[in-house]
Amino acid sequence: MTADIETALDFAEPGLGRRTRAIVEDMGTAIVTGVHAPGELLPVEADLGVRYGASRSVLREAIKVLNAKGLVTARPRLGTSVTQPSQWNLFDPDVLRWTLRRNFSLPLLIEFTMVRLGIEPLAAAMAARRGSAEAHERIRAGFARMSAAHRGADDPLAADIAFHLAILDASGNSFYCRLKPLVSAALHFSIRYTDNIARDEEAKLAQHREVMEAILSRDADRSEQTARTLLLDAKALMEGGLDPMQIEGAAA
C-alpha cells in the first residue's frame, strides 16, 4: 500500500475494516478520476476478488459504501455500474477529496468556500457564546500550533486545519461538528493553494489571532465578523487565479 493511500485512509469511514477501506479508496479514486467511466460496468465480483485478494463479503461491503457515496448503482443480474457525476455526493469527504484530486478544480473549491461562509462565521459566534473553557483551550492550542508552524516548528497545514476544526467543535452544534471531515478534506486543498500564492504570512497569522481573541473574549459579533473576513480573503485569493467567466460560474 502506498504512502498516499495510507494518508488517504485517514479520511475514510472509521467503522470499516482496513481492507474494505483500502478497496473503497482504490475503486473510488478510479471512478472519480475517470478510470471507470460513467455508465461503465465494474468488473464482476470474482475478478475483483482476484484483484484485491478479498473475500466476497468484503467486496460487497465496499460496493455498499461506494453506492452510499453515489458513485455506483448495483442491480440484480445487471451488475454494478458507475453513476453520472451529477449523482456523486460532494458532501461526502472522500468524494470531495477524490474530485479535487482528479483534476484540481479551483471553481469547485471556491464554491465550497462559499458553503463554509454560511457555516464557520456562525460557528465562531456560537463558540464565543457557549464554548466551554476546554473547547476554547483547543482553539488556543490550534493557534499556538499555527504560530509554531510559522517559526518552522510544526506542520502548517495540520496546524491550520486543527484551528478551524476546533472552532466547529467549540460551537456545540452537533451538525457543525459532523462537518469536520468535510471541512478538513477541503482545507487540505484550499490551504495548499492559498499558501502557494504570494501573501503576507504575518497578516494571515494575525487574522487567525483576531478570530481566536474574539472567541476567547466571548464577543460573538466580532467572532462572526472576523471569521467571515478570513474566509472572504481566502476566497478572493482563489478568485485571483481565475478569469472573470470562471469566477461567475463558481459564484452561480
Whole-angstrom distance, CA of residue 135 vs CA of residue 127? 8
Whole-angstrom distance, CA of residue 157 vs CA of residue 44? 40
Contact 88, 71 (CB under 8 A): yes
pLDDT at 199: 64
Grid coordinates given for 60: 460487497
Q: Can you spell out the DSSP letters for 43-89? A: PPHHHHHHHHT--HHHHHHHHHHHHHTTSEEEETTTEEEEPPGGGS-
Contact 24, 62 (CB under 8 A): yes
Whole-angstrom distance, CA of residue 198 vs CA of residue 81? 44
Whole-angstrom distance, CA of residue 64 vs CA of residue 159? 34
Alpha carbons within 13 angstroms on the beta-carbon side of residue 220 total 10
28 Cβ contact list (under 8 Å, min separation 6): 66, 69, 71, 94, 95, 98
pLDDT at 152: 92
**Total residues found in the chain within this entry:** 252
Grid coordinates given for 123: 460557528
Q: Can you spell out the DSSP letters for 125-143? A: HHHHHH--HHHHHHHHHHH
Give me the domains of the chain, ranges plus CATH numbers.
3-85 (1.10.10.10), 104-250 (1.20.120.530)
pLDDT at 247: 38
Q: Which residues of the chain are under the pLDDT cut of 70?
A: 1-15, 103-104, 198-199, 242-252
